């Protein structure tokens, strides 16, 4: 067997022994999660500063784990509780009837007018002329009585 193959086999994750080294990305993620816990009120200012400093100095994944031992997992928190808002705190019920009920009389009048217009348009024209003539007659009569 070639010695280079043995070296490659030793580097596979299955044969690794000991803690894994972490990079800047993992440290930044740890500080971001600590910041979320601080904003949520789970850490004091002093605790946050101490843990953030330890997270930025961490070299191995094992160095980060003790920083989160007494804190809940963020994935568990997202499913259990959503962000608080006044709307989610007290669901309000709408007072009074639904909006459709308020529009129902207007819709019924429009329906009746449409039905009369389509079924008997002569009736609409007759009503139009009656109102026109009676309205003109009243105005003339009122005008003549005021100026006498």
Whole-number pLDDT of residue 46: 94
Beta bridge partners of 21: 60
Half-sphere exposure of residue 143: CA atoms within 13 angstroms, side-chain side:
6
pLDDT, one tens digit per residue, over 44-91 is 999 999 999 999 999 998 888 888 888 887 766 655 555 554 455 455
Whole-number pLDDT of residue 85: 46
Q: Are residues 35 and 74 in the same domain?
A: yes
Q: Are residues 79 and 109 in the same domain?
A: no
Q: Are residues 24 and 70 in the same domain?
A: yes
Whole-number pLDDT of residue 67: 86
Q: Are residues 113 and 75 in the same domain?
A: no
Q: Are residues 76 and 31 in the same domain?
A: yes
Answer whether residue 54 is part of any domain: yes
Q: Are residues 78 and 125 in the same domain?
A: no
Q: Is the pLDDT of residue 5 over 60?
A: no
Q: Are residues 69 and 111 in the same domain?
A: no
Are 87 and 45 in contact by the 8 Å Cβ rule? The answer is no
Q: Is the pLDDT of residue 141 over 80?
A: no
Answer whether residue 138 is part of any domain: yes
Task: Report the alpha-carbon distance of residue 69 to residue 17 in Å, rounded.
Answer: 23
Answer whether residue 92 is part of any domain: no
Tokens encoding 4: 């280079």
Task: Report the alpha-carbon distance of residue 32 to residue 70 in Å, rounded.
Answer: 16
Answer whether residue 95 is part of any domain: no
Q: Are residues 34 and 76 in the same domain?
A: yes
- Among 32-36, 97-101, 113-117, 144-148, where is mean pLDDT lowest? 144-148
Q: Is the pLDDT of residue 7 over 60?
A: no
Segments forming the whole domain that contains residue 124:
103-146
Higher pLDDT, 6 or 54: 54
Which residue among 36, 55, 83 closes a domain? Answer: 83
25-58: string of b/e by CB count within 10 Å (b at 16+)?
ebbeebbebbeebbeeeebeeeebeebbebbeeb
Q: Are residues 68 and 116 in the same domain?
A: no
The domain total for the chain is 2
pLDDT, one tens digit per residue, over 87-131 is 554 555 667 777 777 888 898 898 888 887 788 878 777 877 887
Task: Report the alpha-carbon distance of residue 10 to residue 53 in Å, rounded.
Answer: 33
């Amino acid at each position: 067997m070639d010695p280079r193959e043995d070296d490659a086999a030793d580097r596979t994750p299955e044969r690794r022994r000991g803690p894994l080294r972490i990079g800047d990305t993992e440290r930044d993620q740890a500080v971001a999660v600590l910041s979320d816990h601080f904003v949520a009120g789970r850490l004091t200012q002093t605790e946050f500063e101490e843990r953030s400093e330890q997270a930025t100095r961490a070299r191995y994944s094992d160095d980060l784990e003790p920083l989160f031992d007494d804190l809940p997992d963020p994935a568990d928190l997202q499913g259990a509780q959503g962000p608080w808002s006044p709307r989610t705190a007290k669901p309000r019920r709408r007072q009074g009837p639904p909006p459709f009920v308020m529009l129902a009389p207007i819709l019924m009048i429009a329906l009746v007018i449409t039905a009369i217009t389509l079924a008997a348009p002569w009736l609409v024209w007759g009503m139009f002329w009656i109102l026109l003539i009676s309205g003109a007659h009243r105005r003339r009569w009122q005008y003549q009585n005021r100026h006498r």
